[in-house]
Amino acid sequence: MIYRMGAALMSLVGLFVSAYLYLYKIGRIGSLACGSGSCETVQASPWSRIAGVEVALVGVIGYAGLLLVAMMAVQPALAARRWPPTLLLTLAAIGLLFTIYLTSLELFVIHAICRWCMGSAAIITSIFVLALLDFRRGAPGGAAIPVGPEPHSAR
């Protein structure tokens, strides 16, 4: 359960980081607390939008989805179900792959590293690791600790 709680907390932090970047992008925050100007360069680049949608907004939606799934997963009623950790791990893996793509763009195409984006990359990596540990713990043959009977085992 501790892994799911950790994933929920990190998703919440990621949600705020993405919201901050999105508010900057739409001009509601004067400048980023970044110091180097690289975040502005990244945010102003053509890669700051995907199919007409701000990448920061994709982040907001993604972290909100992760938060929702992690919050469901921590509910005692769902503790023994397999789908919450599976879904959490799947979403975290998609987020991690997307982050790797964005980071490679920063490194090799835009040639600017945004510290806030790096912060988001660290957050999604930690969520992925927590989701993976949670998934392995509950996997057949893993170190799963039974929390309670399956709801339908009482029949």
Residues at the interface with other proteins (CB under 8 A): 1, 5, 8-9, 12-13, 15-16, 19-20, 23-25, 27-31, 37-38, 40-41, 44-45, 74, 76, 112
CB of 97 to other proteins, least distance (A): 26
User: SS3 of 33, please?
Assistant: coil
CB of 19 to other proteins, least distance (A): 6
User: SS3 of 35, please?
Assistant: coil
User: SS3 of 30, please?
Assistant: coil
Q: Which is nearer to other proteins, 68 or 74 (CB)?
A: 74
CB of 112 to other proteins, least distance (A): 6
CA dist 86 to 57, 75, 155, Å?
24, 15, 26
Q: Which is nearer to other proteins, 29 or 53 (CB)?
A: 29
Q: CB–CB of 61/26 below 8 Å?
A: no
CB of 64 to other proteins, least distance (A): 13
Nearest to 47 by CA among 109, 93, 107: 109
Q: Which is nearer to other proteins, 74 or 93 (CB)?
A: 74
